[in-house]
Structure 1
């Protein structure tokens, strides 16, 4: 679930010297995860690790296009006319993806997988090369979230034939939310969890201050953000996954409407939201839209977003929505 949504180098700063602050880390979904927690009850760290990894494994089993036996891969191989029941987690992610696909008129499209593979990214990646016009048109004909028949009441999805779901622009954020809920159910209330740059904070540090992170929205440009209360942040941009061929270079973020990698001057965008799943999807969506359309969309939908645009002279311009300013400076 790596292609389709870039991630920033989001680094939790060193915590205050407190004997109850502990750290765990590991690998999942082709990237790294890390957890910093205040553990005053001294719960066994191995139990905490098992809790987190069990959540990640559940998301992989349902939504990973890299695992041939996952729910999403079985759906993508299914014959036309088949109907598929959705696990609760899969339903929740699909419902969110469907909402933003509709709201953005397809700038966020959960069927974009064929285009991602065509440009050399994701589980079905072709060799990195410029696709032919014929191949591009063929892939574009397979993309279109409107072709899906999603029954919310029955929690089912219909396969009309040839649809390949790809939730890489949202599933990693959901995995963070899913694991955070499990940690809270264990009795942990103060922690910071990251998966490949998608991050969610719960509660506060032992000294009562907010968890703080440094977000690299573009090369050489970092922004310190305090995550007050339960808050998530996700960043997407053009510097983390790129390909090149015959002197041409392109980003992993594909515009589902044109079928082409994004070509505007947006270097990166970060989104703050209570749910990491929402922040993840919105960061991807705004990256597709670009600096002007993305800013207009973020303002219309009251998204807390920070845009970094690369200007013609190479300089970087940073712009935030009013909602970003409100959320980033709030006190919980």
Structure 2
């Protein structure tokens, strides 16, 4: 998945460390085998190469992640789109990373956008299947890491652990408490000089922003988050969005949605859906933070 994972846990049952590692890696391996854009033989990669008109049954986990992505795609008018793969490749991010600082040409952008559209894959929930209309590239990078966190958490609980903090690529979920009884503590570095410490008590957190994979060309800066509706990086002054949610899958997806929507529409969306979100944007030479009502209620 092009990233790392880590785990901190209390182990009063003295479960062998090899068993803990094996349990976590088994959960991660399932997600990779189904949804990785980095592995050519993953279910997702095989779908992306499939013939036009073919319908594909999905593994239960794949179907759950895709259904979540489509739920928020519909709610946000496409601010998140699981069919964004052609645009991600065009801009040279993710598994298609390249060192070119140049943005794509209008013709290249139009060609890639013709393969994007979450409605085109015709997801059928009763059969847990999707259609390959031809040339559609799925990319679940904006949600799969969060789902991987949830999967690891579920496996560790089955193993008998009840107090742990699991992280995949910067997305985290705290279950139970630290040794000594205090909640797990996480510091969010949303921007230079803007840091917030929060407690993760049976809660997940995900952050999306432009501090990672940042590129610049002729005075323009952009990051790996793309707006599927126009095919380009968002043009607003938002630096980062952090979301709290019981499930890391939803926190991950919503961080992407709100980053694309921007500070104004994003905050309105968060308020309407009761999302706990912290927005950090550039203002003059510094930064300004805005919090949704749900964030204030949970973090205060």
Tell whether the structures are fold-level matches, with TM greater than 0.5: yes
Cross-structure match for 1:269 = 241
Distance (Å, rounded) in 2 between the aligned partners of 1:32 and 1:135: 32
Cross-structure match for 1:148 = 121
Alignment of 1:175-254 (within 5 A): 175-228=148-201, 230-254=202-226
Contact 1:120 1:129 survives alignment (8 Å):
no
Distance (Å, rounded) in 1 between the aligned partners of 2:245 and 2:113: 31
Where does structure 2 lack aligned partners over 5 or more consecutive residues? none
Alignment of 1:77-96 (within 5 A): 77-96=49-68
Cross-structure match for 1:139 = 112
Pairwise CA distance, 1:218: 1.2
> How many corresponding residue pairs?
299
Stretch of structure 1 that moved more, 171-180 or 203-212:
203-212
Distance (Å, rounded) in 2 between the aligned partners of 1:130 and 1:107: 20
Pairwise CA distance, 1:125: 4.2
C-alpha RMSD of the superposition: 1.2
Stretch of structure 1 that moved more, 246-255 or 264-273:
246-255
Contact 2:203 2:244 survives alignment (8 Å):
yes
- 1:129 equivalent among 102, 113, 136: 102
Pairwise CA distance, 1:246: 4.6
TM-score by length of 2: 0.97
Stretch of structure 1 that moved more, 270-279 or 213-222:
213-222
Distance (Å, rounded) in 1 between the aligned partners of 2:264 and 2:158: 41
Where does structure 1 lack aligned partners over 5 or more consecutive residues? 1-28
Cross-structure match for 1:293 = 265
Distance (Å, rounded) in 2 between the aligned partners of 1:264 and 1:177: 31
Secondary structure of the residue aligned to 2:4 is strand
Distance (Å, rounded) in 1 between the aligned partners of 2:164 and 2:139: 30
1:97 aligns with 2:69: yes
Larger RCO (CA within 8 A; separation ≥ 6) = 1
Pairwise CA distance, 1:48: 0.2
Secondary structure of the residue aligned to 1:318 is strand
